[in-house]
Chains A and B, each alone.
Chain A
Amino acid sequence: MPQVSCRVTLGLLPPACQHCVLLSGTKDSRLEFPFGGLIVLRDRDLGVGVSCRRRPWDNKPRDASQSGAMSTRHVTCRYFIHGVCREGARCLFSHDLTASKPSNICRFFQKGQCAYGSRCRYDHIKPSGSLVVFSTPDMAPAGLVSPPGPPPSEEPIAPVVRTTPQRREKKSLVLRDRNLSGLSEEKSQSNPSWNPNHGNDAYKADEEVKPQSYLEAICTGLEEVDVAQCFPGDPGQLCPYAAAGACQYGEECVYLHGEVCDICGLQVLHPYDQDQRKAHEKLCMANFEHEMEKAFAFQASQEKVCSVCMEVVYEKSSASERRFGILSNCNHTYCLTCIRQWRCAKQFDNPVIKSCPECRVISEFVIPSVYWVEDQSKKNELIEAFKQGMGKKACKYFDQGRGTCPFGGKCLYLHAYPDGSRAEPEKPRKQLGSEGNIRHPEWMVYVPVPMAD
């Protein structure tokens, strides 16, 4: 069953959603979800949709007593931040942005790189400012949150004075993190030379703290726990800098420096993790083969001359013209521009323009390609991929069943009704000649598919 998503926009009140009731009368609009929860829409939210997400069968309010003993009230609810917390008032996490600690920091970004970039739904905050705890050198051995930072300075770093309750809480977060991940302890033991703050008061105080309960761990450092849990029994993390080419710490690095992969030449092979090695080698090999194939394809395409304009296709003046228009039924070379122009010619009969300008073999369609493909099996693959790409686009003639397509079952475009069901393939109508209304379909002359790399 699909998830029901009620979207209420302040400008579109009253809400259309039966789950959501708007409470008005205050300066701010309040949106209450009957199964629990309250969202205050402020002026700045105007026009911004607020979603209430729940499954229709999930009517029973969540039993708060289940986890009542846990106190996570001071941790910001990460769903609430995005306006999608379905627990509402019963939520175990805080819905007050000002008084709670955000827990939606992107840990990948903190480690150095997040593949989602600006599209990431988590906050991209480098360890700094209020999150200074993450970047203090004594955190680094944990190897979880901060990337290998600058080399630890030799002079002892003055402990940050934390007086406010919030600060203290953060301090405990530091301590917690250190002790939480057994990993970090192991590391700091195995690298005793690493920690320059060993004599630091703050550090000593940290060591005296007793191990905390799971609950406390949750309360303080959610993402750290997550990370630790993500790598259970991780025999050691590879240094991403070394893997990318160079690590400024060299031998001193707390992270493992992998062995050099023969294929890609980077330090990416894990010394102990055989699975990782195999996986990488497989990936690398596949990459390598792909590159080789591309190189061969480029070589084969390089000197091909278009039989119409007599130009080397790869040397055409505009880059967009350096593409081949491959005919489905013969192997004569044309650039896409020329063959399309020819197949658009109006003064000839269809069989003439649909035939190859050189051998007159009729091809039903032209496949755009960056590389020249002649080998039949590769060409079949290309044709198959091309047809699949075309098959995702709705046919303009068929028009979801409202119209009729003269090409019937032969049409490459999608013939589907609004409900998604496919139309029965029918025989194509006889195509009219050049004087008739119906010409060859668009895909026979022009194919707007994105260029394959």
Chain B
Amino acid sequence: TASFAINYNKPEYIQKPGPVRFITKIWHPNISSVTGAICLDILKDQWAAAMTLRTVLLSLQALLAAAEPDDPQDAVVANQYKQNPEMFKQTARLWAHVYAGAPVTSPEYTKKIENLCAMGFDRNAVISALSSKQWEVEAATESLLSN
């Protein structure tokens, strides 16, 4: 089990939803790994006046269970999801472990993170870089240095 924090402002009007975004970092094709912005139709053009906080949360739960890589918010994640589903799964698990308190994770990825962190990089930046660069340490280091 993992728990995610979500920022949801009460909708001011029945005509549009309140702004929603993830505060907890998450690796998901439809959620920005940087900002937490969510790509979900009902939060945009398919909003309906009868929707409530409950229906919004249910929709988010469904979105987490079944990603929509063809309508991505985060292109890097979506790409990985399509090209290397197994890697995506491991990465998502790692993110859930690190940020949302999920139990198990891949020891291989953890080791790579520790190595880069030992070089003095910020942990979050290391995780992001490794995840984006298909867990290739050299490419990730390069991207970390260039920032």
Contact = CB atoms under 8 A, between A and B. Distances in A.
B55 to A, nearest CB: 10
Interface string B95-122: 0000000000000000000000000000
A293 interface: no
Nearest to B51: A357
B49 A338 contact: yes
A356 B47 CA distance: 11
B50 A347 contact: no
Interface string B51-76: 11000000000000000000000000
A308 B45 contact: no
A357 B16 CA distance: 12
A338 B14 contact: yes
Contacts of A186: none
Contact-size category for B: 10 to 19
A38 B111 CA distance: 117
B15 interface: yes
Interface string A331-344: 01010001101101
A341 B50 contact: no
Interface string A345-372: 1111100100111101000000000000
Contact of B50 (A308, A344, A345, A348): A308
Contact of B16 (A309, A334, A347): A347
A120 B77 CA distance: 82
B48 interface: yes
B146 interface: no
B48 A357 contact: yes
Contact of B47 (A307, A310, A341, A348): A348
Given A348-B45, A352-B45, A341 B51 contact: no
B83 interface: no
Interface string A307-339: 111100000000000000000000010100011
Contact of B14 (A308, A349, A352, A355): A308
Contacts of B52: 310
B16 A358 contact: no
B1 interface: no
A357 B49 contact: yes
Interface string A154-172: 0000000000000000000
Contact of B15 (A334, A345, A356): A345
Interface in B8-22: 13-16
Interface string A76-109: 0000000000000000000000000000000000
Contacts of A358: 48, 50
Contacts of A308: 14, 49-50
Given A308-B50, A358-B50, A342 B14 contact: yes
B49 A349 contact: no
Nearest to A307: B50
Given A349-B45, A352-B45, A357 B15 contact: no
A-B CB proximity, top 3 nearest: A357-B50, A342-B49, A345-B15
Given A341-B15, A345-B49, A348-B45, 20 more contacts: A307-B49, A308-B14, A308-B49, A310-B52, A338-B14, A339-B49, A341-B49, A342-B49, A344-B15, A345-B15, A347-B15, A347-B45, A348-B47, A349-B45, A352-B45, A352-B48, A356-B48, A357-B48, A357-B51, A360-B48
28 contacts: A307-B49, A307-B50, A308-B14, A308-B49, A310-B52, A332-B50, A338-B14, A339-B49, A341-B13, A341-B14, A342-B14, A342-B15, A342-B48, A344-B15, A346-B15, A347-B15, A347-B16, A347-B45, A348-B45, A349-B45, A352-B47, A355-B48, A356-B48, A356-B50, A357-B48, A357-B49, A357-B51, A358-B50
Interface of B: 13-16, 45-52
Interface of A: 307-310, 332, 334, 338-339, 341-342, 344-349, 352, 355-358, 360
